[in-house]
Amino acid sequence: MTELFRIVEQPRPCAYLPVQSASLEVRAVNEISPVDYAGLLARGWRRFGWQFFRPACPRCRECRSIRVLAQEFEPSAGQRRVLHKNEGVRAELHPLFAVREAVELYNRYQLFMHEHRGWELQRASLASYHDIFLSGSAQLGRQWLYFSGDRLVGVAMMDETPQAISLVYFFHDPAWRPQSPGVFSALTQIEYARAKGWLYAYLGYWIKDCGSMNYKNRFRPYEMLDEYVNEGDTPVWRRI
């Protein structure tokens, strides 16, 4: 692993729990092997482009790293209904690449979330989309493309390491939203991990009191990380 620098942010208002202050520990990593990344995932790190990060909040411990036990996973009744509703959606796994259709879809999604959830408005060009999603991920990144007929309706970024996948980011056509595309995408990726024989599907951070993050414990069985430890220390995951 080639690390360029590491910082801890100054505390700022939390985007998930407004009454709390948030801070991230961030590492700029130029090169990393899948094996090294598996070790970081097990210690609560996430990747977005060349940035690796995990919570370092001064007084809050609500962000909990969560991973699904892929070989034991069985969809719930509600999740099976989501699969049924999306029977006409085609999911394809590809290497990472940037195309204009994906950029346009990303911008529509960001505008929708800005108007309906109050997200800060983000807009990408083909070049900036490449920098956001494709940088620093040559050995790690894959992408799921979801199609309704010939129309691209969703894109999910996924990392793959020995014995695990990590769900990185998902965006979709707002018109697909009534069919629970986020749940469908997660189910698609967990099934991929199960079929490959991998042990875990990392879902990122679960936050009990945040509506947009607390759905993750519906994918069962799962484990949560006790605390964020350094590379020399053994992470402890507990089955919930």
What's 193's domain CATH number?
3.40.630.30
Q: Global pTM?
A: 0.94
Are the C-beta atoms of residues 212 and 205 closer than 8 Å to each other? Answer: no
Sheet with 151-161, side-by-side order of all strands: 89-94, 141-148, 151-161, 164-172, 200-206, 64-69, 222-225, 237-239
Are the C-beta atoms of residues 171 and 188 closer than 8 Å to each other? Answer: no
d(CA 47, CA 36): 12
Are the C-beta atoms of residues 224 and 212 closer than 8 Å to each other? Answer: no
For 120, the domain range is 2-239
* Number of domains comprising the chain: 1
Q: pLDDT digit of tens for each residue in the chain (240 aa)? A: 777 889 999 999 998 898 999 999 999 988 888 999 999 999 999 998 889 999 999 899 999 999 999 999 999 999 999 999 999 999 999 999 999 999 999 999 999 988 887 778 889 999 999 888 888 766 789 999 999 999 999 999 999 998 999 999 999 999 999 999 999 999 999 999 999 999 999 999 999 988 778 889 999 999 999 999 998 899 999 998
List residues bridging with 25 in a β-sheet.
8, 54
